[in-house]
Structure 1
Amino acid sequence: MWRHIASNAITLLIVGIFLLGGVILWGQNQYVAEGPLDERICLRVERGSNVTRVSHTLEDEGAITSGTIFRLGMDYADKTAQLKAGSFLVPEGASMAEIADIITRGGASTCGTEVVYRIGVTQATVQVRELDPATSRFVEQASFDPSADEPPAQFVEMHARPDTRYRVALAEGVTSWQVVDVLGRVDVLEGEIDKIPAEGSLAPDSYEVQVGDERADLIARMTAAQEEILTAAWQNRVEGLPIETPEEALILASIIEKETGVPEERRQVASVFVNRLNRGMRLQTDPTVIYGLTEGQGVLGRGLRQSELRAETPWNTYVIEGLPPTPIANPGRASIEAALNPDQTNYVFFVADGSGGHAFAETLEEHNANVRRWREIEAQRNSD
């Protein structure tokens, strides 16, 4: 009898072990299997939160099938104590294991709210924007001029949240003085910038920053990025250019940057200046005259006078021969590449065509006709 009972007990134990093993195996499969999420979501993990709260949120969002399995899986993988605060983009179909990795990997937010300090050619703005997980596009929530406007409520609210991300964005064609001036007023940065960086040495781009980052360190990142761009472009330059050094390429690129806002025109504009340099003609470009008046410190805000076109400054290409002594702005990658790989044309003139672009010409006669058309357009606009 006792043998029979013992035999049954052993059998039940074995069955139980197999069942338990099956449950564990099923749970493991569930943990790594594709999840039920149909669309990407932005999962916000509050500071001081825990895995239990996060699992409930994921269940409510329809991102996981079982909060219990999620919690057990994180615990088994020793990830429970690694939970980070922030806003995290969870892709569609993400498994529980993938979600656990996303919210414990590094702690940097990958979605949610972003405050962007934009340094533009004519003004600086602060933009508050939110990532739409479904489209992976940012939607603007608020925007203001920090030098003239009171910060809106959205900015004040998001600025106080620990998971808000910050970014500094430089427009192509800003001057180094403008960059330093605005960075001095970016409230999440610290420290001083000892001197204005060399004109043209900063790469226009978007730079993510953290609260407490040093301004000087950000300038160093911008400088390193521009050096890398210029080095690569210089190595890939075409032959026969009237440019002897990377610095001269940077000067020419800055003029191209200021002369056109149409991306498709950059190489054509570059060809005009290259042709003029090859023929010994003066560049005669208005942006260099403006830089001679402002030296990059702010915007002129009006048209040039005839006396200013004739005034002698180191940058006035109506007066000096060849290139000016320094860049006149910080050019972007496309303008640097255009300066070192221009279109092959015979153009030596260009003037605005009324569409935002330019009309190019090979002869003075063609150019004068283009100028007359532009003046007619201007007169019509003024009368309207």
Structure 2
Amino acid sequence: MRRFGCSALVLILALGIGLFLIVQYWGGAGPLPRNATVEIAPGTSVAGAAEQLERAGAIGSARNFRTLARIFGGGQGIKAGEYRLPAHLSQADILKLLQGGKTLQRFVMVPEGWPSVMVKDALMKAKGLEGPVAVPVEGTILPDSYSFQRGDTRQAMVERMQRAMTAYLAKAWAKRKPGIAVTTPRDALILASIVEKETGKESERRLVAAVYSNRLKRGMMLQADPTIIYPITKGRPLGRRILASEVRAVNGYNTYAMVGLPAGPIANPGRASIDAVLDPAQSNALYFVADGTGGHVFADTLEQHNANVQKWYAIRRARGEM
């Protein structure tokens, strides 16, 4: 009887040690020496995924992984997608990752004020996207950070960005303040693109929008430098000073040679610039010029503006720029 009790105790102890070792093996650091990416195709079984993981060096044995996944996995399947595996990730955490579908997130960033030619450049450079894409229509892309998965198409990404702009513009237009200078969502988008290119300071957007709104209402030329540049570079940086001949150029965009809005947007404006045009500051300002600090100084009259321009010239001369 005593011998039986000892044997049972030894067996229980052995089973406990065995279970402990299995749990340690399952939950302990894996063999993957560095971060790696695996892509699990739709319809892949746990067995198929285990083979991929073994080939990638993330687990030591596909057979052991399958067996333990049945024991510890709760009967859940795995989800397709591209997964980023940190170095030495345990088998338990690998299975949780695949069951939870926490796939690798890839992003395309579209900053406020980018022209559509640069949006196309970013899409073409994005690794993991597929297929050709044309330059999107200017002003139809909502600047933002867009996630995608490997195999998504560039055209599908453009359509997502355009749907986002359509939705936001409609929402913002519905909340517009009465008496604004623009009468259609498209005109709001055009003016917002000018505001976007004229200032990067959040605190100035509504003031810049007010200046251009006041000019539109008075039938004055907008005289926005970015509208001179757009027909030349399609929105890319000019990289030099604007020429006198370019200031005089007559086309559908140069607001130094025409009254009213240009023929279309000159960039893809962000939410803040759209909002500024639809709710400009209460101001009588008609002019603004750089103040030397990255912002602008505003004026209601030409006399005030000319004095501000002279101050700006003095700053530039002190910097050796003139």
TM-score (norm 1): 0.63
Contact 1:199 1:329 in 2 (8 A): yes
C-alpha distance in 2 between matches for 1:86 and 1:187: 15
Aligned pair partner of 1:237 in 153, 176, 180: 176
Q: Which residue of 2 aligns with 1:353?
A: 291
Tell me the CA shift for residue 170 of structure 1: 1.3
Tell me the CA shift for residue 370 of structure 1: 0.8
Specify whether residues 74 and 98 from structure 1 end up closer, same or farther in structure 2 by C-alpha distance, changes over 3 A only: farther
Q: Secondary structure at the match of 2:213?
A: helix
Tell me the CA shift for residue 73 of structure 1: 9.2
1:224 equivalent to 2:163? Answer yes
Aligned pair partner of 1:262 in 198, 201, 204: 201
Query: Is the helix fraction higher in 1 or 2?
Result: 2
1:56-135 alignment runs, 5 A limit: 75=72, 77-79=74-76, 86-87=83-84, 101-109=96-104
Tell me the CA shift for residue 80 of structure 1: 7.3
Q: Could you list the per-position Cα deviations for residues 255-298 of structure 1 after superposition, in whole angstroms to 9, with x for gaps in the alignment? A: 0010001121111111111111122211111101111333x163
Specify whether residues 341 and 298 from structure 1 end up closer, same or farther in structure 2 by C-alpha distance, changes over 3 A only: same
Q: Which residue of 1 aligns with 2:128?
A: 188
Q: Secondary structure at the match of 1:258?
A: helix
C-alpha distance in 2 between matches for 1:167 and 1:248: 30
Greater mean alpha carbon deviation, residues 184-193 or residues 243-252: 184-193
Tell me the CA shift for residue 314 of structure 1: 1.1
Contact 1:249 1:340 in 2 (8 A): yes
Q: Which residue of 1 aligns with 2:275?
A: 337
Contact 1:79 1:100 in 2 (8 A): no
Specify whether residues 46 and 360 from structure 1 end up closer, same or farther in structure 2 by C-alpha distance, changes over 3 A only: closer
Q: Secondary structure at the match of 1:233?
A: helix
Specify whether residues 206 and 85 from structure 1 end up closer, same or farther in structure 2 by C-alpha distance, changes over 3 A only: closer
Tell me the CA shift for residue 246 of structure 1: 0.6
C-alpha distance in 2 between matches for 1:316 and 1:102: 54
Query: Is the strand fraction higher in 1 or 2?
Result: 1
Q: Secondary structure at the match of 1:308?
A: helix
The gaps in structure 1 that reach 5 residues or longer are 6-18, 28-42, 57-70, 90-96, 111-165
Q: Secondary structure at the match of 1:86?
A: strand
Q: Which residue of 1 aligns with 2:219?
A: 280
Aligned pair partner of 1:167 in 107, 112, 126: 107
Contact 2:181 2:216 in 1 (8 A): yes
C-alpha distance in 2 between matches for 1:315 and 1:82: 50
C-alpha distance in 1 between matches for 2:271 and 2:146: 15
The gaps in structure 2 that reach 5 residues or longer are 2-11, 21-33, 39-51, 61-67, 87-91
Tell me the CA shift for residue 183 of structure 1: 2.8
Q: Which residue of 1 aligns with 2:41?
A: none
Q: Which residue of 1 aligns with 2:143?
A: 204
Aligned pair partner of 2:117 in 137, 152, 177: 177
Aligned pair partner of 1:49 in 33, 50, 53: 53
Q: Per chain length, whose mean CA-contact separation is higher, i.e. which structure has more relative contact order (CA < 8 Å, sep 6+)?
A: 2
Q: What is the aligned-residue RMSD (CA, Å)?
A: 4.2
C-alpha distance in 1 between matches for 2:237 and 2:82: 42
Q: Which residue of 2 aligns with 1:370?
A: 308
Letter in 2 for 1:207: Y
Contact 1:74 1:80 in 2 (8 A): no
Specify whether residues 55 and 267 from structure 1 end up closer, same or farther in structure 2 by C-alpha distance, changes over 3 A only: same
